[in-house]
């Protein structure tokens, strides 16, 4: 399968989008080494915000107090999880833009497990303003 054929598969998948609110239909096609193709389309829900995570609340709260990424030194995230609590994808994206790339992020749980990482490690190929 060549590039144009794969793009066509994604275009067809886009027709299956359920986007009655944004009217922003997106399709995707994933070609595997064995030649199989997996397609996907965006599916919306009427509950737009769903939630706001602790990490984002902390960062946004600091920013509302006049702080910038130049002010941020570290971040800790904790939850009652089996392993260290890892930021969700939305938080990773926000951290990739609003948190220093190499500042420590401590992922922890109530059992005392801790894993140190960085925004760059959490989302190495982040979508940035340069992509717009």
What are the residue numbers of the active site?
55
Half-sphere exposure of 84 (CA within 13 A, CB side): 13
Closest by CA to 21, choosing from 6, 42, 4, is 42
120 CB neighbour count, 10 Å cutoff: 17
CA distance 108 to 114: 4
The two tokens of residue 96 are: 């990739």
């Amino acid at each position: 399968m060549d590039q144009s054929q794969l793009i066509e598969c994604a275009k067809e998948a886009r027709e299956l989008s359920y986007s009655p609110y944004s009217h922003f239909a997106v399709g995707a096609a994933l070609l595997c080494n064995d030649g199989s193709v997996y397609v996907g389309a965006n599916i919306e829900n009427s509950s737009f915000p769903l939630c706001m995570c602790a990490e984002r609340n902390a960062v946004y709260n600091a920013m509302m107090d006049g702080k910038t990424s130049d002010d941020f030194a570290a971040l800790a995230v904790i939850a009652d999880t089996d392993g260290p609590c890892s930021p969700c994808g939305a938080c990773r994206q926000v951290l990739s833009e609003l948190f220093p790339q190499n500042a420590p992020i401590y992922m922890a749980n109530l059992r005392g497990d801790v894993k140190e990482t960085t925004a760059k490690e959490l989302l190495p190929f982040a979508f940035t303003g340069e992509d717009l």
